[in-house]
Amino acid sequence: MMYRHVKQPFSVLVIVYTPERKVLLLERSDFCGFWQSVTGSIESGESFTDTAVRELHEETGLNASLDGVLTDLKHEVRYEIYPQWRHRYSPNTTHNIEHWFSFRVPQICSIALERREHNRYLWLPAINAAEKAFSPSNREAILSLFERVTDCD
Query: Could you report the per-residue pLDDT of 100-131, keeping only the tens digit for each?
Result: 999 999 999 999 998 899 999 999 999 999 99
If we measure between CA atoms, which residue out of 39, 65, 61 comes closest to residue 110? 61
CATH code of residue 14: 3.90.79.10
Q: Is residue 151 within 8 Å of 104, Cβ to Cβ?
A: yes
Q: What is the pLDDT of residue 31?
A: 85
Asked whether residue 4 is assigned to any structural domain, the reply reads no
Query: Could you report the per-residue pLDDT of 55-65, keeping only the tens digit for each?
Result: 999 999 999 99
Q: What is the pLDDT of residue 153?
A: 45
Asked whether residue 28 is assigned to any structural domain, the reply reads yes
Query: Could you report the per-residue pLDDT of 44-83, keeping only the tens digit for each?
Result: 899 999 999 999 999 999 999 999 999 999 999 999 888 8
Asked whether residue 1 is assigned to any structural domain, the reply reads no
Q: Above 60 in pLDDT, residue 152? A: no
Domain that holds residue 16: 10-148
Asked whether residue 106 is assigned to any structural domain, the reply reads yes
Q: What is the pLDDT of residue 5?
A: 66
CA angle in degrees (0–180, nearest 5) for 113-128-26: 15
Asked whether residue 134 is assigned to any structural domain, the reply reads yes
Q: Above 50 in pLDDT, residue 1? A: no
> Does this model's pTM top 0.85?
yes
Please tell me the distance from the alpha carbon of residue 109 to that of residue 112, in angstroms, as a whole number: 10
